[in-house]
Amino acid sequence: MSELNNDRFLRALLRQPVDRTPVWMMRQAGRYLPEYRSTREQAGSFLDLCKNAELACEVTLQPLRRYPMDAAILFSDILTVPDALGLGLYFEEGEGPRFRKTVRSEADLAGLNSIKADDDLAYVMHAVRTIRRELNGAVPLIGFSGSPWTLATYMVEGGSSKDFSRVKAMAYDRPRLMHQLLQLLADTVTDYLSAQVRAGAQVVQIFDTWGGALSTAGYREFSLAYITRIIQRLPCEADGRPLPVIAFTKGGGQWLEDIAGCGAQAIGLDWTADIGSARRLVGDRVALQGNMDPAMLLASPARIREEVASILSAYGVGGGHIFNLGHGITPGVNPDHVTAFVDAVQELSPEYH
C-alpha cells in the first residue's frame, strides 16, 4: 500500500494535533454533481452502480477532483447487507428503497442467507480495493455500514417508513425476536466492516440513521447496545495505524454521553446539536464530526462562510473536530456552494490549531 500523503483526518479522529480542521461531506459522491449523474446513467440503476467496482471508484473520486476533501468514502449503500441476506433490494422511482421479502417472524429470520462478506459482498470489497489503489495515498478511505437497528427498520418495514410502526411493534411486543435479528445483524456488520478494513478501508463509520426514532430506553436497548458490540469486535488496526470508528446517530443529540461510551473514537453530530455544548459534554473522550445543516448549502456562499466560522468558533481551539455536514448533502445543491464550504473550512480553521 502507498504511504498516506494527508493524514489530517486520521489524526483529528484520534484527537491528535493538526494544522487545520479536516473536512469531508456525507454523501459527497452524489446527485448534486453533474459528473455523478452522468456516471450513474452510464451504470444503469443505482444498484448497478454500487456493484460495478470501476464506476463506484469513479464516483467516489469525483468530489476529490473538485474539492480538497480530507477523506474519501466508499460509494455504496447501507442496504447491501439486507440484500445479501436475501431480501431482494430494489429501488422504485421516487419511492426510495424496497425489499421483496421482509423479516417479521422466526421463520423469516431462519430463512435469511448465512453470509460471509468476503464472498457474498465481494463486489464491495472489490470496490474498496479499487478505490484504495486509485487514491494512491492521497487521503484515507472510509468504509461504512448501517447500524443493526437502522438495517432492521428497513428489513421489518420492507422499505422506508414514516413512523416505524411494524419494527417498533416487534421491538415492544416481541423483544426476543427483535434481539435475535439485531444480534444476527451485529455479527454480519462486524464481519462486513472487518472485511472492508482488510480490503483497505482506513476508517469505518456506522450510520444509525433511525436510532433517533426510539425512546431513550429503546435507543440504548435496540440500537446503541449493538453498535457497542460491533465496535468491541472490530480490528484495532488498519495498515499499521489504530482504526478509528465513527458512530453517527441522527437525532442522537440527547444521548451524547451514552454514545461517547460505545467505544467509537469519534461521534457524528447531526445539525440540531450545538457542537460547543457537545464538546464540553464529551470532548474529553471522543472526537466530534459535523455539523452544518445540509440546507445551509442552499444559502449564499457568504452565508455559508459565516456558518462555517460560527461552527469553528463554537467548537473552539484544539484538535478533535472533523468538519462535515450534519447529514448527507442534498441533490439540489449548487456545486459552487460546496467550494465555498470547503474553502471556508480550509481558510478559517488554521487559527484554531
CA gap 301, 351 in Å, rounded: 21
How far, in whole angstroms, is CA 218 from its chain's centroid?
A: 22
Q: Of 37, 330, 335, 343, which lies in the binding site for a second copy, with binding defined by CB under 8 A? A: 330
Does 316 contact a second copy by CB under 8 A? no
Binding segment (CB under 8 A) for a second copy, from list 103-111, 177-185, 191-199, 270-278: 270-278
Q: What is the DSSP letter of 203?
A: E
Alpha-carbon distances of 48 from 34, 91, 124, 273, 298, rounded to whole Å: 18, 11, 12, 36, 30
Select from 43-51, 133-141, 197-205, 266-274 the region that touches a second copy (CB under 8 A).
266-274
Of residues 285, 283, 277, 287, the one with CA closest to residue 248 = 287
Choose one: 31-39, 68-76, 143-151, 273-281; the region binding a second copy (CB under 8 A): 273-281
2 near a second copy, judged by CB under 8 A: no
Quick check: 165 binds a second copy (CB under 8 A)? yes
133 is a catalytic site residue: no
Using rule CB under 8 A, residue 160 touches a second copy:
no
Instruction: Rule CB under 8 A: choose which of 9, 32, 99, 164 binds a second copy.
Output: 164
User: Nearer Cβ to a second copy, position 16 or 300?
Assistant: 300
DSSP conformation class of 350: G
Count Cα neighbours of 129 within 13 Å in the Cβ-side half-sphere: 11
239 is catalytic: no
- What is the arrangement of strands in the sheet containing 266-268, beginning at the earlier edge strand? 72-73, 141-146, 203-208, 245-249, 266-268, 287-292, 321-325
Residues that bind a second copy (CB under 8 A): 163-165, 168-169, 172-173, 212-219, 251, 253-254, 271-274, 277, 293-296, 298-300, 303, 307, 310, 326, 330, 332
Q: Which residues are catalytic?
A: 27, 31, 40, 77, 154
